[in-house]
Structures are given as C-alpha cells and as structure tokens.
Copies of this chain bind each other. A is one copy, B any other.
C-alpha cells in the first residue's frame, strides 16, 4: 500500500484539479483506515495519518476538515464493501450455496481488507457512537431479510434449527472476522508465520465446512 501511495504521488506534475482531489482523498482514506485500525478513533492522531499518507498534516485537514469527519468516511466505505459481500445470501436459494459463498466472501474480505474490519471492530467495541444510525437502519434491515431466509430454510427442513437465526449469523460474522481482527494473534500462534495464500484458502474451506455442518449440511 505504501508503494501505491508513492506511485501515485510520483507521477505528479501535470494533473487536473479533479484528479488531484480524487487521488489525495484515496491516499488519505487508505492511510486513515490503516491508522484507525491500529489505534481507534481516539488513539489515532492526524499526524500519524499524515505521515502514513506522506502528506503534511494541514493537507489532511484541507480535504477532510476534521478527524471525526475522516473517520466517518472510512466507516462508510467499509460498510459499503461489506454489504456488497453480503449479497450471496439473497441471490442463492439453496442454503448450501448461499452459506458457502457468503462465508467465502467474508473470509476473502478478512484477507484483503483486514484494516477495514479492525476499524469496524474498534468502533463497535467502543460503543458504536458514530455508527448507531448505520447499524439500526441499514444493517438491521439486511439482518432481518437474512434471518427470514434462514428461517425459511429451517421450515423447509433444509437445515437444522438453531433456535434463533441470529445466533447462526453472529457465528458466521465472528468466525470470519476473527481472521482479520485477530490476525496478529493467529500469526503468533502459528509460530510467527503468516498464512500463505494457499494455506488461507485451505482455512477458508475448513471454516465453510464447520459452518455448514453446524446446521447439519454435509459439505
């Protein structure tokens, strides 16, 4: 990611105002996501973000005005991507396929965008002060449709009942996001080695297997 920033900055010289703004906002958002992931809203400083973005601090304030504003933009962008990953649940009729693709997509996101997941986790842990609205309106809505899908599957005897469908959904969230939020712990317990891409792919299949079996589907 650092290389990306350098690359974009290097080809300066003759850029349109529009692309300048676009580029810099992306650079700053990426840097902010990284820093917020590590230290949360309160623990992160605009100076740190500026340093990661390789821009002067004033520049961050020029584009996003306040730290809180920048933070909200980061959260919003993460939420949008998560919702995109959540589509499988409503596009597949068969639980086996729906669950397989949803869990797979969530695992992929944990792998490709771990910082976003961590920012989200930090925000919830600290009481979700900036996300209450997103959660209680947009996320709630999605969860409701999801829960009714699951309930339908239970009624059709396609999967075992787990009592409250939320419990199953939360297990999926927790298990998949664990691979992003707790990645440092996983590395330490893996003797200091990060999983390779193929090892991660294997893990992904194992997770899918456990989740499917938990509702009685043989993977």
Residues of A within 8 A of B (CB): 37-44, 118, 121-122, 124-128, 132, 135-136, 139-140, 143, 160, 162-164, 166-168, 170-171, 173-175, 177-179, 181-182, 184-186, 188-190, 192, 202-203, 205-207, 209-211, 213-216
Contact = CB atoms under 8 A, between A and B. Distances in A.
Given A132-B188, A175-B171, A213-B160, A38 B207 contact: no
B206 A167 contact: yes
Given A38-B126, A189-B139, A173 B178 contact: yes
Nearest to A39: B42
A164 B204 CA distance: 11
A192 to B, nearest CB: 8
Copies of this chain assembled into the complex: 2
A171 to B, nearest CB: 5
Contact of A213 (B203, B206, B214): B214
Contacts of A210: 162, 167-168, 171, 214-215
B140 A206 contact: no
Contact of A37 (B125, B170, B175, B190): B125
A41 B42 CA distance: 10
Contacts of A213: 160, 213-216
A93 B174 CA distance: 28
Nearest to A214: B214
A182 B39 contact: no
Q: Which 10 residue pairs of A and B lie closest in terms of their CB atoms, listed nearest first?
A: A42-B43, A43-B43, A174-B178, A214-B214, A174-B174, A163-B206, A167-B206, A210-B214, A135-B188, A128-B184
Nearest to A48: B42
Given A38-B125, A163-B202, A163-B206, 9 more contacts: A38-B126, A39-B126, A40-B122, A121-B121, A124-B184, A125-B184, A143-B189, A171-B178, A171-B210
B122 A203 contact: no
Nearest to A203: B167
26 contacts: A38-B125, A38-B127, A40-B40, A41-B43, A42-B44, A121-B125, A124-B182, A125-B182, A127-B184, A135-B185, A136-B189, A139-B189, A140-B188, A162-B206, A163-B202, A163-B205, A163-B206, A163-B209, A167-B207, A167-B210, A170-B178, A170-B186, A171-B207, A173-B182, A213-B213, A213-B215
